[in-house]
Amino acid sequence: MTQTESAARKRRSPRGARWLLQGLVGVGLVLASACLDEPAAPVKPGDDGNPGVPGDIEPEPSVEPDLSHVIGGKLILPIRLTPTPAGRLVVSDFYARRVFLVDPPTLRVLGGLVVQGGPLAVGLWGRRIFVGNAATRTVDVYDHRGAYLYSFGGGPGAVGDPTDLAIDAARGLVFVVDGRSRVVKVFTVYGDPVFQISGPGQGAARLQRPTGIALHADQVFVSDYGDLRTGDPARIKVFEYDGKLVTSLSGGNDGSKARFARPQGLTVDAQRRVFVTEAMSGEVIVLDPATGAVIKTIGTWGSDPGQLRLPLDVTLSPRSDAIFVTNSRNGRVELFAGGGAVP
């Protein structure tokens, strides 16, 4: 951790959301120790010496990423994306080994930062860019101008395959999908492991093959391929922070059949509707949060404009009803004007 990070940690306010964190941590630890098939990730003592309580995270003002000076390039295999405060897109590209800044109207690449390894997950908090690195099996953190700051999640048993991440900006928590160990691992933005959600195993509350993640109103939405061998079809599983399963969304009216087989990145709108990419069928499926039924689909399989091959993530425009999708096999980001509008 850099000196800057150390200084930032020392500036944290003594109170704030500590009570919530303490509660979450306590429950998370109990769940982790009682339910997980693998040992819980090591929990780093907090500043006050209490195990698992990292201290409150002082909010960091959001800063628009500026990667225009770093390096250009083009999209080859875009994986995940997230909107910036100004409405631009930050897009990870595994093969280009870059995280690109993309202009939404034109979908033109404005610049990018070079990642040593394989960038998968991306997220923003304050002036930081978080990148899940499949090669180093870490979450790498850069500043808003693309300068490397620090990494976390490395080491044996840590983040094996950071396929996606989501950030609770208010609490300064980073939720990382570890596709290899099949668990959602939660860190502070400084990299302190805090708690875990679910884990591998059988049962509705367990994760079989998690891929994408989104947060909404203190709930964690995880897309999961499931495992047909054990009768667990693909689902969008919704958890509380304490690991309690709220619901599973299948897209099927009867709840037993999966409307999708390869759910990947997802997002949730203000009405709690779930927009999830379906990698195999090449579409975005919008799910009713109450019933799990399909409200509508966006896009079709193919390579023409408006068509998708291996879509892996979706995000809503903060300024319009458009949605953006990483159209991976077509090597581009797809814009669906009005895609966010739901009848």
Q: Please report how close the Cβ of residue 294 comes to other proteins at its closest, in angstroms.
A: 9
Q: Please report how close the Cβ of residue 170 comes to other proteins at its closest, in angstroms.
A: 27
Tell me the per-residue interface mask from 218 to 247 with other proteins, x by CB under 8 A, - otherwise: -------x--xx---x--------------
Tell me the per-residue interface mask from 24 to 63 with other proteins, x by CB under 8 A, - otherwise: ----------------------------------------
Label each residue of the chain as H, E or C: CCHHHHHHHHCCCCCCCHHHHHHHHHHHHHHHHHHCCCCCCCCCCCCCCCCCCCCCCCCCCCCCCCCCCCECCCCCCEEEEEECCCCCEEEEECCCCEEEEEECCCCEEEEEEECCCCEEEEEEECCEEEEEECCCCEEEEEECCCCEEEEECCCCCCCCCEEEEEEECCCCEEEEEECCCCEEEEEECCCCEEEEECCECCCCCCECCEEEEEEECCEEEEEECCEHHHCECCEEEEEECCCCEEEEECECCCCCCCCCCCEEEEEECCCCCEEEEECCCCEEEEECCCCCEEEEEECEECCCCCEECCEEEEEECCCCCCEEEEEHHHCEEEEECCCCCCC
Cβ distance to other proteins smaller for residue 92 or 188 = 92
Candidates 20, 63, 169, 280; binder of other proteins (CB under 8 A) is 280
Q: Which stretch binds other proteins (CB under 8 A): 4-12, 43-51, 94-102, 213-221?
A: 94-102
Asked if residues 212 and 264 have their Cβ atoms less than 8 Å apart, the reply is yes
Q: Which stretch binds other proteins (CB under 8 A): 22-30, 46-54, 187-195, 257-265?
A: 257-265
Q: Does 327 bind other proteins (CB under 8 A)?
A: no
Q: Does 117 bind other proteins (CB under 8 A)?
A: yes
Candidates 62, 151, 219, 297; binder of other proteins (CB under 8 A) is 297
Q: Which stretch binds other proteins (CB under 8 A): 4-12, 35-43, 142-150, 262-270?
A: 262-270
Q: Does 257 bind other proteins (CB under 8 A)?
A: yes
Distance CA 47, CA 50 (A): 8
Q: Does 118 bind other proteins (CB under 8 A)?
A: yes
Tell me the per-residue interface mask from 175 to 214 with other proteins, x by CB under 8 A, - otherwise: ----xx-x--------------------------xxx---
Cβ distance to other proteins smaller for residue 211 or 317 = 211
Candidates 88, 97, 185, 273; binder of other proteins (CB under 8 A) is 97
Q: Does 135 bind other proteins (CB under 8 A)?
A: yes
Q: Does 329 bind other proteins (CB under 8 A)?
A: yes
Cβ distance to other proteins smaller for residue 163 or 196 = 163
Sign of CA dihedral 34, 38, 44, 49: positive
Sheet holding 323-327, edge to edge: 311-316, 323-327, 332-336
Q: Residue 209 region, left (φ>0) first, then alpha (ψ -120 to 50), else beta?
A: beta
Distance CA 217, CA 214 (A): 10
Give residues with Cβ within 8 angstroms of 19, minimum separation 6: none
Q: Does 168 bind other proteins (CB under 8 A)?
A: no
Total residues contacting other proteins by CB under 8 A comes to 48
Cβ distance to other proteins smaller for residue 114 or 169 = 114
Q: Please report how close the Cβ of residue 164 comes to other proteins at its closest, in angstroms.
A: 7
- Residues making contact with other proteins (CB under 8 A): 76-77, 79-80, 94-97, 116-118, 120, 134-136, 160-161, 163-164, 179-180, 182, 209-211, 225, 228-229, 233, 256-259, 261-262, 264-265, 279-282, 297, 301, 309-310, 312, 328-329
